[in-house]
Structure 1
Amino acid sequence: MSAHIEPPEGGNKKIALLIAVLALLLSLSEIGGKQAENEAIAKNIDASNLWSFFQAKTIRGTTVRTAAEAMEIDLIGTTDAATRERLQKRIDSWKATVARYESEPETQEGRKELMARAKATEQIRDDQKARSENFEIASGLLQIGIVVASASIITGVGVLAYAAGGLGALSLVFMALALVAPRLLF
């Protein structure tokens, strides 16, 4: 008497079909994972660019603020009214520039807006990274499921086919998480 469970009649065809379904799911998981990985890389570059722009605005603002403060010192020692007026206009212009560097809602290129955009882009990047990780786990489960299903055909142990199906079902959970709640586990 055999100690293993035999696959049902026509079992090898059913297991072959299971392997085909697992391979199809593996392909979809790999495509999803690659797409998420590419998007994460693109968003990382976008975030880096936004932070660089933010730093440039900070440097420009500091430079202009310092020039305005130096000119304010020059203004104190100036007695000529026309010169004082020119200096004050320049100081006011520079202060307006500094304020524009801090916040520029119409172009979304002030430091405040750049920071918000960079953080939002980082959030998308992190979501895509988590999505990629979920797809990677699903792909691994599917690869193992294919091997286990193949072993079921070779050994005739039907339980392995059920285990392969279970791994396939578990991979679907990770694929669903990748799509709807990528950061639930990561």
Structure 2
Amino acid sequence: MSSPATEAAENHGGGNKRIALLIALLALLLAFSEIGGKSAEQDALARNIEASNLWAFFQAKTIRSTTVRTAAEEMEAGMVGVTDPAARERMQKRIDDWLKTVARYESEPETNEGRKELVVRAKAAEAQRDISSARDDKYDIASGLLQIAIVISSAAIITGVGLLAVTGAGLGLFGLALMLLAQFAPTALF
């Protein structure tokens, strides 16, 4: 038969094992949160670069379009003084070719590289960047909560105060909820 002191020590040891298991689970969730956050951060950075590149391409197309349109308008104005029909025909052909190029710069669905298509692609990349950034923010908060939960739960082992373990478990559940939110509804709440 064991003494009351031995039973109390065994019960306390069992509680410590449960708290240690809680800490291990919190550490596992923290690892997943850190992985998710890093992935979201890298995706946000990649999407930001993609959007910047697409906007730069859009600007280059705009500059080219303006330059070619100006050349066509200048040649058109210069045609007034040209009386030779062959020269006028060559000039008109050149103007028509330039205006076709301007139209191609404006919209080029075959390659998805016209100005109209570039705007759509750049805005889509920005939207994906914003989603990944929101996901990263939520993972960061979840990681912080899980770290605090680990510290509080560890303090429960040292102090023997069970309420600290319950608080740690509660923070861990909240961190898990934020991780799920980050993954499945990153733009919800904040």
Task: State the distance in 2 between where 1:140 and 1:54 align.
Answer: 40
What residue number does 2:141 align with?
Answer: 137
Task: State the distance in 2 between where 1:21 and 1:157 align.
Answer: 19
1:32-70 CA-to-partner distances (Å, cap 9, x unmatched) read 000000011011111110001000000000000000000
What residue number does 2:77 align with?
Answer: 73
Q: Is it true that 1:30 corresponds to 2:34 in the alignment? A: yes
Q: Secondary structure at the match of 1:143?
A: helix
Q: Give the aligned length.
A: 180
Q: Is it true that 1:58 corresponds to 2:62 in the alignment? A: yes
Instruction: Name the Cα RMSD after superposition.
Output: 1.0
Q: Is it true that 1:104 corresponds to 2:108 in the alignment? A: yes
What residue number does 2:160 align with?
Answer: 156
Task: State the distance in 2 between where 1:133 and 1:185 align.
Answer: 12
The 4+ residue runs of structure 1 with deviation greater than 4 A are: none
What residue number does 1:174 align with?
Answer: 178
> How far off is 1:75 after superposition?
1.1
Task: State the distance in 2 between where 1:180 and 1:172 align.
Answer: 12
- The runs of 5 or more residues in structure 1 that have no matched partner are 1-6
Q: Secondary structure at the match of 1:10?
A: helix
- The runs of 5 or more residues in structure 2 that have no matched partner are 1-10
Name the % identity.
Answer: 67
Q: Going by fraction, where is helix more abundant, 1 or 2? A: 2
Q: Secondary structure at the match of 2:76?
A: helix
1:100-157 CA-to-partner distances (Å, cap 9, x unmatched) read 0000001000000001000000000110000000100100000000000001111111
What residue number does 1:3 align with?
Answer: none
When the two structures are superposed, what TM-score results if normalisation uses the length of structure 2? 0.93
Q: Secondary structure at the match of 1:184?
A: coil
> How far off is 1:185 after superposition?
2.3
Q: Secondary structure at the match of 1:112?
A: helix
Larger Rg: 2
> How far off is 1:77 after superposition?
1.4
Bigger relative contact order, structure 1 or 2, given CA contacts below 8 A and separation 6+? 1
Equivalent of residue 125 in structure 2, options 121, 124, 127:
121
> How far off is 1:9 after superposition?
6.4
